[in-house]
Structure 1
Amino acid sequence: MSLYLLFDVGNTRLKWAAVESTQYPSDQQKKLWAYSGSIGSKSLQSAEHRAELADYIARTLPKPNAIAFSCVAGQEAIDKLQSLFPQWEDVEWMQLLGNSPFDGIRSLYQDPSKLGSDRWAAIIGGRTLSKTNTLIINAGTATTIDLIGSNGLHYGGWILPGLSLMQKSLETNTAQLPLAVRGETHHGFGLSTNDAIIGGCDAAQIGAIQYALNVAKEMNQPVERIWIDGGNAKILANEMRQLGKPNSISIETSEGLVLRGVWAWLLKNL
């Protein structure tokens, strides 16, 4: 039995998971990520934190047969990531890029090399879970919305500031607006400045998703399923469900869509 170690290095969080060759990316069982973890991506900048991370993973797992990763945090982060396990120097590191081929999926991006590897990995991950017209949403530091058709075509997508960035921009660039704090869920117009900011940012995100559904329908690619991942996934999914729209579309959160996509791509390239 083989073991594969996977990394997703984002702008805010570094996530990892280990999977066995007896498992499959299309499996949605809850214990799929039995060996996994997450830390701040900036931890890679510290030699002490890198040593702690490497020691923890090496003590937790046996030597992997391959290591695969996606990274959008820059070349320095990649270099530091690949320095973690000198004792495993014979293990191959494989990097998923935005233009890495994957059987059954093709992007219509003008220059696929400019497509973020996290978006591409999430698209692959979503495709392993469902083969219908699907919106893939990664709600993290940025919110990305991508459309993949049942025909395997990635029709492109959008990138907008995530919830925290939206809220922070109001605090940073205005004289009197504070950094809002999320409290109890409130629907409708805000009756305080705090609720107005939280509700407004939520509405902007939900509005973008609804607009994406409308555009997909105009393209004769009506969406049947929405997969949402990222730190704000539950917030957006709950908001959409409580609004009751669209009631004909399955809205599901899936932890680790990027890792799942990296995993599926790795299996195709072993």
Structure 2
Amino acid sequence: MILLIDAGNTRVKWGLFGDGVWQGEGALEHARVDELGAIAQGCAGITRVFGSNVAGSDVADAIAHALHGHAPAPEWLRSSAACCGVRNAYDQPGQLGTDRWAALIGARALHPAACLVVSAGTATTIDILAADGLFRGGVILPGEHLMRRSLARDTAQLPFADGRFVDAPRNTADAIASGCVNAQAGAVERMFRHIAHETGALCLLSGGGADMLANALDIPFRHVDNLVLKGLAVAATQPDTP
């Protein structure tokens, strides 16, 4: 059994994968990563720990400490020029975030045609994956929550708004919430233009903000939970993982 770890900017997601089947999954705030030890201790037969870490060395060290004595030392995915049917056109392939790389690998395994790989989290990433497996490039923007927080922090009269997404807002809270959602959806729909003409083109949507974003999109999409973990499972079980 493999323990897969997606250490993101806000949370650490984990999943147990064995014999082609998901046998458990969950998420922990950074301050609670020590609980991974108990999770591993309760799951006999973990032969490998494999993950993506964009949260920094302190989180990686905390994960390794939590698992010590209960599971093998973590191995971390590295972005490369090619892996599992995906080719990386980044100017410097190793600089691509490993969460994006894992999501692209997962997307390639799930959808054989061109797709837009979107992760809506603390940051929103929007990546173009061609039908032949070429990662053509992508964009990064602040997530919807960060957008709202920046308005509250850097303006004198705009609050941190807990409004609703509506077509034509008539109060400040809804205006802020709707503006931030529209900014996210507009970026996704604009990037989708790169592949919209291709047969079977689809947006694969993942991340904590996926439900919010899905309500605003006017393109074909599929909501995929834990796309990074799914990509890690592919990378961990195929022989060409670097």
Show the counterpart of 2:237.
Answer: 267
CA RMSD after TM alignment: 1.9
Q: 1:128/1:229 Cα in 2 relative to 1: closer, same or farther (>3 Å)?
A: same
How big is the shift at 1:117? 0.3
How big is the shift at 1:99? 2.0
Q: Which runs of 5+ in 1 are unaligned?
A: 24-31, 45-49
Q: In structure 2, give the amino acid aligned to 1:43.
A: R
CA distance in 2, matches of 1:213, 1:86: 43
Q: Does the 8 A contact of 1:119 with 1:258 survive in 2?
A: yes
Q: Does 2:46 match 1:76?
A: no
Q: Does 2:224 match 1:254?
A: yes
**Of the candidates 185, 191, 213, which is equivalent to residue 212 of structure 1?**
191
How big is the shift at 1:134? 0.1
Q: Does 2:174 match 1:195?
A: yes
Q: Which runs of 5+ in 2 are unaligned?
A: none
Number of residue equivalences: 240
Q: Does 2:53 match 1:55?
A: no
What's the secondary structure of 1:239's corresponding residue?
Answer: coil
Show the counterpart of 2:2.
Answer: 4
Q: Does 2:160 match 1:152?
A: no
Q: Does 2:210 match 1:233?
A: yes
The percent identity for this pair of structures is 33
**Of the candidates 30, 34, 40, which is equivalent to residue 41 of structure 1?**
30
How big is the shift at 1:222? 7.0
Q: In structure 2, give the amino acid aligned to 1:63.
A: G
Show the counterpart of 1:111.
Answer: 92
Show the counterpart of 2:154.
Answer: 173
CA distance in 1, matches of 2:150, 2:84: 40
| TM-score normalised to structure 1 length | 0.83
Q: Does the 8 A contact of 1:12 with 1:42 survive in 2?
A: no
How big is the shift at 1:179? 0.5
